Amino acid sequence: MQIVIKTGRYDADTDSTPDGLVLWEGGDDDLPAAALAMISDDFAPGDWQPLSQFASVIAGMKPAEAKEEVSSAVIASQAGVATSWQASIAIGQTRAALMLCQSVIKHAATRSEWAGAWVRVD
């Protein structure tokens, strides 16, 4: 899942992307954007939408029920006494995708110059 936030003018009927600068981009290549589409009919991967609308859509999402959830693992290197080691934490994909999007939205809220920006999640 990759998230891109851009400024600029954008018309879905005539433009493929907003014409401004990329303000932020990032994500997790091992996490599918389809995890968000699974829990909301208001989310469409690959569509540009106003950041404020994206924040509203994400705010209304809840992670999938455990029996419907697909689990992934988050792996992080940890410092050890003699050598580093890998910690693996199991997490549901919808929960992880929501956490990532919520973090991006919280960051965007601290950036007043991002008002009116567009966001796309692939």
CA distance 108 to 104: 6
Which has more confidence, 48 or 88? 48
H/E segment holding residue 99: helix 93-109
Amino acid making up residue 80: G
State pLDDT tens for residues 51-107.
999 999 999 999 988 888 888 777 888 998 889 999 888 889 999 999 999 999 999
Identify the band that residue 121 occupies on the pLDDT scale cut at 50, 70 and 90: very high
